Amino acid sequence: MKHYFVFAAIVGAVSISACQSNVSSNKSSATRSAALFSQADNSVISFPALSRRKWDSPLIVDLDLDGFQDLLVTEHGQAASIYWNNNGTFSEPVVVIRGDTHGASAADYDGDGKVELVISQGGGAGTNPRLPKVFEIDGQRNISKGKTFDHFEKGRGRAVKYVDVDNNGDLDMVLSGFPMKSQKQGANHLYKNDGNGNFEFVGHLPQAKWLGYRVLVTDFNNDYDSDLIFYGGADLTAVQGSKGFDFTNVTASSFGELRNISDISSITEIDFDNDGDQDLFLTRAKHQFKPQTFLDQELKTFAFFGRFKPFAFDDLQIQGDLILENLQMAYPSYDVFVGANKTQLAQGADRGAERNYTISQSEAKGWPEQRAEKGLYIGYLGNDMWRIAIDTNSTTAAVVHNVLNTPSTITQQELPAYLLENKGGKFVDVTQSLNVTVGGQSTSATTGDFNNDGWQDLLIVPYGNMANTQHPILLLNQQGKQFNQDNTHGLYAGELGVTGGSIENFDYDSDGDLDIIYSHERGKWHLFENSTNKLASKERNFIIVDVNTSPKHKVSSIAASVEVQACDKSIVRRVGATSSPFSQGENTKLHFGLGSCNKVDSVNVVWSNLERQSINNVSINTLTKIGN
């Protein structure tokens, strides 16, 4: 696909001394004897107590530019909210926007010293197509009322990603959407930044097959031109950036038959072998369109999920009352009817959050012959037998307790994850050879050196069993040769009725190890503190590189490539890299584990406009600032 282009000259390399600050690491000589992660308590952050539907990974970005990474989290259909980071503890949530919001990205795209937060809005299943909305945030945490990009095309918004397409230092914008029938060329759009923060439509980007509106921004050929991968449906589509606004479809040449991997839920770029190029880890899960049922006989719990079509499952044997946990329903269907008389249960003020009911046999006696109203129906049939049926126009899910019989369940399709090695811009499958055995389905992953040994590990959120509690999968990198699973990591979620969600990492408390924030669909947010620097031996060194704007032209740090050379190893990270399919933060503090290495030879940064800066002889276990 051809467009006009602008060429940016390479700015000459600069070598300077850097600002360094010590990071408290609290190292001890003890070997690890406890879980790597422990949940942060409410004194650190206070997330909502009720479970809700979610949308995408949290956004990690310093929104008020005070040097600490803030959080933006989205409760689907409810609100997108900011948690301000106050030097390692977080504020109460501040609502930015309410309603049906999707992907979000944040950066200073107009160079005025304030962060622009762009949020994609849903389109009411096509009945109410809308425009993305932008909010400006200043250093005093004032948030503008927000305005829409009125000259953009309305749609069912999904992803928002910033990309400096033409390497001129201005952040351009990639939007994806669920294509409507009127969008014959698809809903993947490219907009050019005119240099003053105004966006002009350039053209349509290639599409993957149906549901392929998830987006990865990466650089798989290491030429400092951002590349894009669209995925999520029956295949993936890879487009390679070049000079200006030219993109070339390289799907076949870069992925071969691997391009037909279906149902990819997230893609994580990971340089697992420290060879300087970005390999890819793919999680896979089905979209939640069809009915699902789960059973845990030990817990005596039965869980169900339904959407769009009427659905009834086997009758349940329950002694005594029916206990319904974490019932979640969505607009426009919230009603629960019990018994032959269809008595309607009270909903409470917060209909979109979890609801819990205890229903007696007498309350629910009988089964209604006519069920014309949309809702969830519950009836007691006698002899300890109960019947539940769904007839809603939206998602409906819950867990039933004390189930004594064995109702049939729907087996979930096996969709194992993939690890693809990058060999000169061409990808090969190394999943089995590196012992990456993640079966079932999985929805999200994050990569980082979680034990500071110098190699990037993987944390994966499985889809899981709704009738049981969930925990992520930790794969520890064994020096690029294989991955071993660690089952004592300490990450967990106690909610029932949830399925796999999203996960991200960042060092929220600036102590030199990577902490975790994650959630499950229809669950809660959880923040876990990494204890590497309390549990590990002295052989767990690190460096944090804080990438500011470029030294000459003050270009945003998004997509800046950072290479750390230490002890004959070269470790590469990129600012803004995320497995989030719809959102993009700007975590400028890149973490590099060093293991036993006690000397950093150099830190080399290349910004999106190809400005360069290098620092030599950097102290270990410090935060080093680079840039303007």
Q: Contact at 8 Å (CB) between 218 and 229?
A: yes
- Beta bridge partners of residue 107, listed in sequence order: 116
Give the Cα separation of 267 and 445 in Å (integer): 8
Q: Which residue has the tokens 């942060």?
A: 40
Residue 152: per-residue pLDDT: 94
- Calculate what percentage of the chain has a pLDDT beyond 90: 85
Residue 534: per-residue pLDDT: 79
Residues 278-296 have a mean pLDDT of 96
Token output for 174? 């990639």
Residues 583-590 have a mean pLDDT of 96
Give residue-wise pLDDT tens across range 316-340: 999 999 999 999 999 888 899 999 9
Phi, psi of 290, deg, nearest 5? -105, 160
Q: Which of 609, 583, 612, 556 is nearest to 112 (CA)?
A: 556
CATH class of 51-286+412-534: mainly beta
Residues 156-174 have a mean pLDDT of 95
- Asked if pLDDT for residue 294 goes beyond 80, the answer is yes
CA dihedral 549, 555, 557, 561 (to 10 degrees): -110
Give the Cα separation of 351 and 353 in Å (integer): 6
- Calculate what percentage of the chain has a pLDDT beyond 70: 94
Residue 384: per-residue pLDDT: 98
| C-alpha distances in Å from residue 519, one per residue of 73, 230, 340, 500 | 10, 24, 38, 8
Residues 289-298 have a mean pLDDT of 95
Residue 539: per-residue pLDDT: 81
- Asked if pLDDT for residue 136 goes beyond 70, the answer is yes
Strand, coil or helix: what is 533?
Answer: helix
Give the Cα separation of 133 and 130 in Å (integer): 9
CATH superfamily of 541-626: Carboxypeptidase-like, regulatory domain (2.60.40.1120)
- Asked if pLDDT for residue 6 goes beyond 60, the answer is no
Give the Cα separation of 284 and 267 in Å (integer): 9
Residue 538: per-residue pLDDT: 64
Q: Which of 172, 242, 166, 251 is nearest to 207 (CA)?
A: 251
With cut-offs at 50, 70 and 90, classify the pLDDT of residue 15: very low
Looking at 76-119, list the stretches that DSSP marks H as alpha helix, in order from N- to C-terminal side.
Answer: none
Give the Cα separation of 474 and 484 in Å (integer): 8
Give the Cα separation of 526 and 51 in Å (integer): 11
- Asked if pLDDT for residue 18 goes beyond 60, the answer is no
- Asked if pLDDT for residue 7 goes beyond 80, the answer is no
With cut-offs at 50, 70 and 90, classify the pLDDT of residue 181: confident
For residue 201, give the amino acid letter: F
Token output for 93? 């949530």
Q: Contact at 8 Å (CB) between 533 and 27?
A: yes
- The DSSP code for 523 is B
Higher pLDDT, 367 or 33: 367
For residue 9, give the amino acid letter: A
With cut-offs at 50, 70 and 90, classify the pLDDT of residue 536: low
Residue 385: per-residue pLDDT: 98
Token output for 416? 């194992």
Token output for 348? 């409470």
Whether residue 332 is preceded by a cis peptide bond, meaning omega within 30 degrees of 0, is yes
Look at the alpha carbons of 223, 554, 589, 159 in this order and tell me if their dihedral is positive or negative. negative
- Asked if pLDDT for residue 26 goes beyond 80, the answer is no
Token output for 499? 């399925």
Residue 260: left (phi > 0), alpha (psi -120 to 50), or beta? alpha
- Beta bridge partners of residue 241, listed in sequence order: 247
Residue ranges per structural domain of the chain: 51-286+412-534, 292-403, 541-626
Whether residue 310 is preceded by a cis peptide bond, meaning omega within 30 degrees of 0, is no
As a whole number, the mean pLDDT across the chain is 92
